[in-house]
Amino acid sequence: MVFNTGSALLDAIVLAIVSKDADGTYGYKITQDVRTVIELSESTLYPVLRRLQKDECLEVYDKECAGRNRRYYKLTERGYAMLKMYDEEWRSYSQKVTGLFEGGKFDE
């Protein structure tokens, strides 16, 4: 992809993916799901997850899976609020950019 993915967009994508499962999801699965949209390494994802946890958008818990603990991430109320804000901002932003590409006016 020729466009850079800034931290806000990456946060929005991760929050959207984590929100799909009410019980939360684990890091490797998040990485795989993000990769359906953008290219991302696990070494890029985990700092994002830590930042979102620090910002109280994600809560973390461990769950046993095949005899090992797996770390799960789940949205908090603040996380849902941030996701809603990102969703509204994205819809407005993408509409404007799409409008430009489709012949719309610059100042709309």
Q: What pLDDT digit, counting tens, does each position of 62-105 carry?
A: 998 888 999 999 999 999 999 999 999 999 999 999 999 998 76
Q: Give the whole-angstrom CA distance, residue 5 versus residue 97.
A: 16
Say if 86 falls within a structural domain.
yes
Specify the pLDDT at position 106: 61
| Percent of residues, the chain, with pLDDT higher than 90 | 70
Specify the pLDDT at position 61: 95
| Percent of residues, the chain, with pLDDT higher than 70 | 95
Say if 38 falls within a structural domain.
yes
Rounded mean pLDDT, 30-58: 93
Specify the pLDDT at position 66: 87
What is the count of structural domains for the chain?
A: 1
Residue among 27, 64, 69 nearest 49 (CA) = 27
Say if 106 falls within a structural domain.
no
Specify the pLDDT at position 43: 87
**CATH number of the domain enclosing 82:** 1.10.10.10
Say if 34 falls within a structural domain.
yes
Within 8 A by CB and 6+ apart from 37, the residues are: 13
Q: Give the whole-angstrom CA distance, residue 11 versus residue 43.
A: 15
> What's phi and psi for 3, nearest 5 deg?
-95, 135
Q: Which domain holds residue 67?
A: 7-101
Say if 108 falls within a structural domain.
no
Residue among 80, 29, 30 nearest 56 (CA) = 80
Question: What DSSP character marks residue 101?
Answer: H
Q: Give the whole-angstrom CA distance, residue 59 versus residue 49.
A: 10
Is the pLDDT reported for residue 57 higher than 90?
yes
Rounded mean pLDDT, 7-25: 95
